[in-house]
């Protein structure tokens, strides 16, 4: 059954991307490399940017067909719609990154208001860390308790994951591939835990829907890309992966492990920008995929690198537990930072 749902989401996304490309070109939701100079872009020519539209519609239609629409599912689809609208406006008008960041916080708070939260997280050294010790009752579509610490951390996590994943979409095919892989593994692992007012089977179905929606978009985005994910597609990916990672309380650590590469790249990028006295929100050339381009890697190789690493870490997450996941994440982080350091030194010595 999950395979059928996955196939339906993939098929809808794939088909809807064709008219989206035509629509985006008609209303000028495009990036022209000769007109719009963007320091982080790697593409050339005129490319439509509205990739978030077919992805969201695929998730929406497939969810309405296969998922029981609980309060939380409705909240996810509702909040995701606002993120899509934000993305389309950014595709058209290049919104301020500060405005987008504030909107990310509000949209994250919106989905939390529908009952999503993190009452506890797994302790890598054993047991759990409770986060639901401070509660405030709130009547919002039925009684809901605000877990002050838990909900605040959930908002921070969703805002962070939204931006972290969005930053890793600079190369053709890079984003939809590793998002699909990550969502599949989160779906496989969701059967181990049940949380909130949503069944484990619903979490699994939603995971496969997200994976299918991004996989269906991939053929259009693979090199040479015919359409870009845009801010809507990139931000929606991070938002939904963040949600999937907390729908079952034990999977935040799993998501961190599978997404080690974009996570560490995002942390390094923010530190680098602050060190250089630049805004951490201001786009620039310096992400890992930029470094790989500098040493001669092609765009297809970079995309496959992200997919394969995500797959390897996903398989590892099926077997590693607690402290083992933390150790694996640290090892990946050290290796990545050493790699970036070597590339930086090569640039200083003008070897590249």
E-strand ranges in the chain read 30-32, 46-48, 120-122, 128-130, 135-139, 143-147
8-state DSSP, 195: B
Query: Are 30 and 233 contacting, i.e. CB atoms less than 8 angstroms apart?
Result: no
Q: How confident is the model at residue 127 (pLDDT cuts 50, 70, 90)?
A: low
pLDDT of residue 299: 94
Distance CA 13, CA 18 (A): 9
Please check the confidence at residue 141 and state whether its pLDDT lies above 60: no
- For the stretch 172-215, pLDDT in tens is 999 999 999 999 999 988 876 555 567 888 999 999 999 999 99
**Residue pointed to by tokens 């620039």:** 284
| C-alpha closest to that of 166 among 238, 259, 117 | 238
Q: Tell me whether residue 296 is exposed, middle or buried, using C-beta atoms within 10 angstroms of its C-beta: 0 to 12, 13 to 18, 19 or more.
A: exposed
Strands 143-147 and 135-139 come out as antiparallel
| C-alpha closest to that of 335 among 274, 268, 286 | 268
Binding site listing: 166
- For the stretch 27-76, pLDDT in tens is 989 987 777 666 666 777 889 999 999 999 999 999 999 999 998 999 99
Angle between helices 71-93 and 97-113 (to 10 degrees): 170
| C-alpha closest to that of 176 among 88, 269, 66, 58 | 58
- pTM score of the predicted model: 0.92
Kindly state the tokens that stand for 228: 């870009």
- For the stretch 253-292, pLDDT in tens is 788 899 999 999 999 999 999 998 888 888 888 889 988 9
Binding site listing for Mg(2+): 166
Query: Are 74 and 114 contacting, i.e. CB atoms less than 8 angstroms apart?
Result: yes
For the ranges 41-55, 122-136, 227-241, 333-347, the maximum mean pLDDT occurs at 227-241
**Total length of the chain:** 352
Please check the confidence at residue 99 and state whether its pLDDT lies above 90: yes
pLDDT of residue 158: 96
Distance CA 182, CA 161 (A): 13
Residue 41, C-beta contacts closer than 8 angstroms, at least 6 positions apart: 31, 33, 170
């Amino acid at each position: 059954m999950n395979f059928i749902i996955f196939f339906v989401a993939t098929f809808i996304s794939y088909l809807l991307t064709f008219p989206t490309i035509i629509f985006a070109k008609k209303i000028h939701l495009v990036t022209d490399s000769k007109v719009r100079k963007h320091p982080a872009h790697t593409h050339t020519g005129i490319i439509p940017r509205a990739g978030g539209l077919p992805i969201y519609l695929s998730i929406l239609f497939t969810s309405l067909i296969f998922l029981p629409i609980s309060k939380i599912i409705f909240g996810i689809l509702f909040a995701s719609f606002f993120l899509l609208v934000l993305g389309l406006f950014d595709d058209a008008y290049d919104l301020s990154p500060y405005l987008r960041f504030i909107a990310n916080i509000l949209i994250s708070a919106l989905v939390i208001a529908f009952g999503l939260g993190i009452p506890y997280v797994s302790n890598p050294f054993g047991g759990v860390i409770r986060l639901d010790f401070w509660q405030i009752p709130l009547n919002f579509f039925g009684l809901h308790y605000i877990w002050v610490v838990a909900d605040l951390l959930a908002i921070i996590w969703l805002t962070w994951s939204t931006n972290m994943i969005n930053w890793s979409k600079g190369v053709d095919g890079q984003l939809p591939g590793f998002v699909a892989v990550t969502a599949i593994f989160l779906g496989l692992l969701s059967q181990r835990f049940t949380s909130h007012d949503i069944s484990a089977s619903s979490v699994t179905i939603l995971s496969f829907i997200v994976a299918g929606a991004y996989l269906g978009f991939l053929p259009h985005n693979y090199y040479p890309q015919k359409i870009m994910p845009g801010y809507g597609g990139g931000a929606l990916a991070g938002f939904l992966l963040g949600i999937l990672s907390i729908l079952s309380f034990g999977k935040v650590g799993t998501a961190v492990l599978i997404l080690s590469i974009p996570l560490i790249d995002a942390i390094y990028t923010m530190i680098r920008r602050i060190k250089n006295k630049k805004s951490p929100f201001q786009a620039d050339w310096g992400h890992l995929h930029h470094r790989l381009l500098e040493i001669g890697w092609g765009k297809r190789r970079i995309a496959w690198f992200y997919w394969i690493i995500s797959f390897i870490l996903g398989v590892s997450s099926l077997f590693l537990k607690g402290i083992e996941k933390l150790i694996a994440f640290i090892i990946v982080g050290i290796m990545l930072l050493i790699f970036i350091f070597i590339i930086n030194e090569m640039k200083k010595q003008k070897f590249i």
